[in-house]
Structure 1
Amino acid sequence: MKKIFIDAPLDTMITIPKDTTHHLLTVFRHKMEKPVLVGGSDGRTGVYQIQDVVDGEASAKLVGDIQDESVSEVEVVLVQGFLKADKLEWVLQKTTELNVHSVYAVPMKNCVVQYKMDKLPQKVQRWEKIMKEAAQQCGRSKLPEFTADITLADVLAREQANGSLLLVAYENEHSLTLKAALEQAESEDVIQRVVISIGPEGGLSNDELTQFEAADARVVTLGQTILRAETAAVGAVSMLQYALNMD
């Protein structure tokens, strides 16, 4: 059964916005007479039947029970230094498929591209659309959270306040592996939320590394080879999901 998301809580009758209706009926080639699985902004999921389409928007009726599909698992969060548009879009799409809980896209010193603040809202709209379509395609229970108008310092402060385990991948670290860092942390406390930070194409600056260390982030290696930023992001999220949520 096809899965879509709407930016509203679920009810007996719902409205599916134009872009989602178009994606469902035109891109997915979903037949109106077939039921569709809908995820709402309240984190719940229900089975709906489209009743009508007016001016591109579909009205749909609940035809089953609304379920809370939330699962108890360790939240994996990605902090990604801004990348070139195609690379960042690929990271957002693939980490959404890998069930990342949240993504922060942040400016860093060695970013190849720096997005202007007045143009960022337009970019964010596109990035959120890519993540939404990826979530629908892979049947996620809920959409990942996405934040782009934030600094690295603010991310670290927010995640420290959340009690998150902070990890940062660094190409010049050769001893502490991701696996070893998780084992260390698990021996100290119960892990509920893990943040993995990946630098941009130009790598982390010394000042940024100092910020991570000051926030008690554990500096880790992802292996013996130096990975492209986009490969490192997808690889690290995959490793964490396997280690933490594949029991």
Structure 2
Amino acid sequence: MQRYFVTPEQFHPETAAIGGEDARHIAKVMRGKAGDKLIVSDGVSREALAEIASIETGEVTVSILEMLDMTHEARIKITVAQSLPKADKLETVIQKCTEIGAVGFVPFLSERTIVQYDERKESKRLERWRRICKEAAEQAHRNIVPEVHSPLGWKLLLKSFSEYDAVFFCYEKEEGLQLRSAVAPWLSALPPQSPGKVMVVAGPEGGFTPEECRAAEAAGAVSVGLGRRILRCETAGMVAAACILYESGEMGGA
């Protein structure tokens, strides 16, 4: 069943209003008609089974039939920090990590970032990233749309580590502590019902420098490896997020 996110202001006790591209999608692509059922969510605390009441130019009005439980979100809240990669790789990271269960994305600049970051183009790129994130959240039946932040500089990224319960810094030269060995004891110490807030940090095509690794550890991150094979920059965050959720029992793990 198709799922659409609306703003809390568009979600009323008995009706909801779907506008913009979603309204066009319902009318033109799905060829929706009065009586068709769909799921509508405000992306915060309300989700409902609804049916189309009317289709007007630019807006679809639906009637709320039944409120639904919001049970599709993981207890562990993972934010993926990704050094800006070339081409459309970040779009892949956002799409796939949204499907996996990440709740946020922080693009950032590091020493070996290859892409030339242009602040003048930031708003358009950010808009596209957020649209991709929303579409992936709908496809994956998420209860929320993950937040995609504006890109940060390296120092601001390090400063943000203090906002998380744990930060796992994916470093391809880490030969000692592997991700599972770091995550397992942290999860064991976490109270059963506590929503742990985690950041996973993945580097650019050229990886992180030793100096960046030391700076990340000094800021509170734990440097971890992801196995004996070298992963592409757009793969590391996905693997780390999936492993953490598996270890937490979200995907049939512990």
Q: How large is the Cα RMSD of the aligned pairs?
A: 2.2
Cα deviation, residue 156, structure 1: 3.5
Call closer, same or farther: CA 1:231–1:41 in 2, change over 3 Å.
closer
Call closer, same or farther: CA 1:2–1:184 in 2, change over 3 Å.
same
Equivalence for 1:200:
204
Call closer, same or farther: CA 1:27–1:90 in 2, change over 3 Å.
farther
Call closer, same or farther: CA 1:169–1:30 in 2, change over 3 Å.
farther
Cα deviation, residue 189, structure 1: 4.8
Tell me, yes or no, if the aligned pair for 1:13 and 1:62 is still in contact at 8 Å.
yes
Where does 1:12-23 land on structure 2 (aligned, <5 Å)?
12-23=14-25
Q: Which runs of 5+ in 1 are unaligned?
A: none
Q: Which runs of 5+ in 2 are unaligned?
A: none
Deviates more, 1:143-152 or 1:167-176: 143-152
How far apart, CA to CA, are the structure 1 residues paired with 2:50 and 2:148? 27
Equivalence for 1:65:
67
How far apart, CA to CA, are the structure 2 residues paired with 1:86 and 1:78? 16
Tell me, yes or no, if the aligned pair for 2:40 and 2:48 is still in contact at 8 Å.
yes
State the secondary structure of the residue aligned to 1:113.
coil
Call closer, same or farther: CA 1:122–1:72 in 2, change over 3 Å.
closer
How far apart, CA to CA, are the structure 2 residues paired with 1:174 and 1:4? 44
> Please, what TM-score do these two structures have when normalized by structure 2?
0.87
CA deviations on 1:71-116 (whole Å, 9 max, x unpaired) are 5611122110111232111111110110111111112221121321
Where does 1:215-230 land on structure 2 (aligned, <5 Å)?
215-230=219-234
Residues matched between the structures, number: 246
CA deviations on 1:113-148 (whole Å, 9 max, x unpaired) are 132112111001111111111111121111111112
Equivalence for 2:105:
103
Call closer, same or farther: CA 1:233–1:72 in 2, change over 3 Å.
closer
Equivalence for 1:175:
176
Where does 1:1-247 land on structure 2 (aligned, <5 Å)?
1-9=1-9, 10-11=11-12, 12-28=14-30, 30-65=32-67, 67-69=69-71, 71=73, 73-162=75-164, 164-186=165-187, 188-190=189-191, 192-244=196-248, 245-247=250-252
Cα deviation, residue 51, structure 1: 2.0
State the secondary structure of the residue aligned to 2:35.
coil
How far apart, CA to CA, are the structure 1 residues paired with 2:59 and 2:80? 33
Call closer, same or farther: CA 1:161–1:70 in 2, change over 3 Å.
same
Residue type at the aligned position of 2:65: V
State the secondary structure of the residue aligned to 1:119.
helix
How far apart, CA to CA, are the structure 2 residues paired with 1:85 and 1:28? 31
How far apart, CA to CA, are the structure 2 residues paired with 1:177 and 1:58? 50
